[in-house]
Structure 1
Amino acid sequence: MHRKKRVNRMSLYFDNAATTVHKPSVVAKRVAEVLSADSFGNPSRGAHLYSLRAYQVVEETREAIKKLFHATEGYEVAFTNNATVALNEVLKGIIRPGDHVITTSWEHNSVLRPLYQLEQAGAQLDFVTSETSTGCLNYQEFEEKVRPETKVVVCNHASNVTGNVLDLERVKAFCKKYDLLLVLDISQTAGVLSIDLGDEEIAAVCFTGHKSLYGPQGTGGVCVRKDIVVEPVLTGGDGMRSFSKTQPKEFPTLLEAGTANVPGIAGLGAAVQWGLENPAPAQEIVGRYFIKRLQELPNISVYGDMNQQRVNVFSLNIADADSALVSDLLWEDYEIATRSGYHCAPLMHEALGTAARGTVRFSFSRFTTQEEIDQVVQALSEVAGRK
């Protein structure tokens, strides 16, 4: 592919599966308020008004998250600085040597690497594989892999490579049948799909604030069922039981050692409240339009199941070109921001047959327009036509 002289056009951002950059204005405003008001101290670290104001910010956000996920009184929300920390805390807190874990080829390294560490410590792992043609899970393998010592099932709610969405009801029924703990990574679905914890079948959902919740980077957490026994991975100050040699066992303190990110949590709370008050439009309309336009182009391979429920994450390749080259051309010549490579999901690429070159990933937000899609398709058409 030959380089083309850069054209003068506005840059377009299509890396929302990594981080959304277009945030509601209330998010920055709320973060700035907390940082600049000279009024917010350390939550749960004092009885004075500065501490109480901060505590109120954290608790209001906690309640907004519970409302978003339709969480019953049987759940508690603990804040972390992203989904990776939340997953590490949950997985390392509940899985012990000898426990058997079933997970999938969809998983991000924020699940895989903690599980590999646990495997080294004596846990046992099995992976449900995916179809090469669509990336869909081979769901019958859940039944094939269950054992008497199986304790936990860990699943990505939606693949950050293909955009395929988990058949959650089927997996929940499987876990209920065998009395297994279901841990769900909702990094790609929180704020996009309805997350309903009302039946209390899910042990924990781990979320991040900076993707489709439209909150600040460095925010996230876990909504965990209170009856789950979790050993704390991080221990430290809780502001209350200073003479105890161990971390308090109660949620959320069990998972919230140290000082909370009050400005970030305030911004996350503003984002979640904004989302609750402004339901997202039918985002699949933009995704369907993108796929329809892609079908007009030659030499484009798109990965995933386009006929089932999905999130707006699309991975593709152009002919036999390396994904990094295509992504670089899109940015340098068209100022279109995409993500190339493996997206921290190596098993998914092995399943799709893209382990050698990765994929170019386009991921949309609720603010993506059809006009922007048209610009992207035009750019892809030109890149695909180069010799």
Structure 2
Amino acid sequence: MNHNRSFIYMDNAATTWPKPPSVIEAMERCMLESAANPGRGSHTMAVKASRVLFETRKRLSKLFHIANPNDIAFTLNTTHALNLAIQGLLKPGDHVIATSLEHNSTRRPLEALKRTIGIEVTYITTDAKGVLDLKQVEDAINERTKLVTAVHSSNLLGTILPVAELGEIARRRRIRLLIDAAQTAGVLPIDVTAMGIDLLAFPGHKGLLGPQGTGGLYINPEIELEPLLFGGTGSKSEEIGQPKIRPDRYEAGTQNTVGLAGLAEGVRFVLNETVETIHAKEKALTYELMEGLQQIPGLSILGPDVGQERTAIVSFLLEGVDPSEIAFLLDQQFGIAVRSGFHCTPLGHQTAGSYETGAVRLSPGYFTEKSEIESVIEAVKEINVTLTARA
């Protein structure tokens, strides 16, 4: 893909960019032809809008191996999906097991429920590279354990957690498994049945290559969540309570039809390319980036070593240098967009030993070019030389 741009985008872990041109075309077409309220009318344009939503559910179901597309509730993003899952499932006195790699989108709802309704949360600490001890998870389960929740891949370390093994434990112990797929949806194979995932929270704007303001939550048909929002659904309008039927129960209000049209096209792109192809390319770029950065004196990379499985996330520290200064120089002097700071995962930084400083995060994507990786390595080298000389 010809980017036609004068800068290098290395912040795909936050939002992927650029998007396939077909995603933009699908959104424009939807705005022109089918941007009425889905499920709120029987006229031609409203029916077209409803078809946009159903087609998006069908494609997501194919990607995640979900039997019934109506078990997917659309949300604004992964954060919204995680809140729906956590607040909709847990009751006073329930016990939850989470990991020390969780994003604040999981941690904060859990901590809020600790304060408000008295749930109990056990955080299983991984090692500094993000390796999870499954025995610790199993040992933490008690008679009140309702949920195990885990990020599929750390947005700081790139570590991939053993979801299928967690699913096996959860099934055997008759508890539910919630997975945060913010960094893996569209990048790693996900089969909710084979992996034992009861609740899958995913974004539309990252690996699925759709626009911001899109995402969803897969809800196992055996699970009945309390809705996060109440309101109009276009169905059972004569009833005072929220309807029981899916997905209406969890989708009060007008949906982002135009955005979901873009998401449908992003998912189509992923299905055609295959997640295996996407991951293989991103992994190769990531290893090349790591190998180059490792040659820089005083630079340390967080997470798994080169050659070990990981997502396309490379977080690093330069000894004695504030990560925010590195990010500023990369942006202002070299035109390279990165992310510095705590990445909304203070637990992850505590685990990695970078809590005092934060880190610089580089995240190539499927459309990143080899020449851009080389340019990033050279830019970090030059910054290191400059800052070293200044010191």
Q: TM-score range by the shorter chain?
A: over 0.9
- CA deviations on 1:119-177 (whole Å, 9 max, x unpaired) are 11211100010213x23223321022111100101100000000000111221121122
Q: Which residue of 1 aligns with 2:108?
A: 113
Q: Which residue of 2 aligns with 1:77?
A: 72
The alpha-carbon deviation at position 355 of structure 1 amounts to: 1.1
Aligned to 1:385, what secondary structure does the other structure show? helix
The alpha-carbon deviation at position 74 of structure 1 amounts to: 8.8
Letter in 1 for 2:122: D
Q: Which residue of 1 aligns with 2:342?
A: 342
Q: How many residues align?
A: 377
Q: Which residue of 2 aligns with 1:370?
A: 370
Alpha carbons 1:346, 1:355 under 8 Å: kept: yes
Q: Which residue of 2 aligns with 1:89?
A: 84
Alpha carbons 1:158, 1:189 under 8 Å: kept: yes
The alpha-carbon deviation at position 274 of structure 1 amounts to: 1.5
Select which of 136, 142, 145 maps to 1:141.
Answer: 136
In the TM superposition, 1:303-382 aligns within 5 A as: 303-306=302-305, 307-382=307-382
Q: Which residue of 2 aligns with 1:5?
A: none
Alpha carbons 1:75, 1:224 under 8 Å: kept: no
The alpha-carbon deviation at position 363 of structure 1 amounts to: 0.5
The alpha-carbon deviation at position 33 of structure 1 amounts to: 1.0
Select which of 264, 267, 273 maps to 2:262.
Answer: 267
Select which of 8, 11, 23 maps to 1:12.
Answer: 8
Select which of 185, 188, 194 maps to 1:190.
Answer: 185
Q: For the residues of structure 1 that align with 2:35 and 2:233, how far apart are their CA atoms?
A: 18
Q: Which residue of 1 aligns with 2:119?
A: 123
- CA deviations on 1:295-331 (whole Å, 9 max, x unpaired) are 2221111000124321000100111211111111111
In the TM superposition, 1:132-281 aligns within 5 A as: 132=128, 134-199=129-194, 201-279=196-274, 280-281=277-278
Alpha carbons 1:72, 1:197 under 8 Å: kept: no
Q: For the residues of structure 1 that align with 2:341 and 2:12, how far apart are their CA atoms?
A: 15
Letter in 1 for 2:130: G
Letter in 1 for 2:297: P
Alpha carbons 1:165, 1:310 under 8 Å: kept: yes
Letter in 1 for 2:77: N
The alpha-carbon deviation at position 66 of structure 1 amounts to: 0.2
Please, which moves more after superposition, 211-220 or 166-175?
Answer: 166-175
Please, which moves more after superposition, 73-82 or 178-187?
Answer: 73-82
Letter in 1 for 2:286: G
Are 1:28 and 2:24 matched, yes or no? yes
Alpha carbons 2:182, 2:206 under 8 Å: kept: yes
Q: Which residue of 2 aligns with 1:284?
A: 283
Q: Which residue of 2 aligns with 1:63?
A: 58
The alpha-carbon deviation at position 200 of structure 1 amounts to: 6.9
- Unpaired segments ≥5 residues, structure 1: 1-8
Letter in 1 for 2:379: A
Aligned to 1:291, what secondary structure does the other structure show? helix
Q: For the residues of structure 2 that align with 1:73 and 1:220, how far apart are their CA atoms?
A: 17
Aligned to 2:54, what secondary structure does the other structure show? helix
Q: Which residue of 2 aligns with 1:296?
A: 295
- Unpaired segments ≥5 residues, structure 2: none
Q: For the residues of structure 1 that align with 2:258 and 2:153, how far apart are their CA atoms?
A: 29
Alpha carbons 1:161, 1:361 under 8 Å: kept: yes
Alpha carbons 2:70, 2:247 under 8 Å: kept: no
- CA deviations on 1:255-299 (whole Å, 9 max, x unpaired) are 101111100000100110121112344221111111111222211
Alpha carbons 1:200, 1:225 under 8 Å: kept: no
Letter in 1 for 2:342: Y
- CA deviations on 1:71-116 (whole Å, 9 max, x unpaired) are 1249711111111111101110001110000001111111111111
The alpha-carbon deviation at position 250 of structure 1 amounts to: 2.1
Alpha carbons 1:284, 1:312 under 8 Å: kept: yes
Report the TM-score, using the length of structure 2 for normalisation. Answer: 0.94
Alpha carbons 1:158, 1:188 under 8 Å: kept: yes
Alpha carbons 2:92, 2:119 under 8 Å: kept: yes
- CA deviations on 1:339-359 (whole Å, 9 max, x unpaired) are 000000010111112111100
Q: For the residues of structure 2 that align with 1:83 and 1:244, how far apart are their CA atoms?
A: 30
Aligned to 2:111, what secondary structure does the other structure show? helix
Report the TM-score, using the length of structure 1 for normalisation. Answer: 0.94
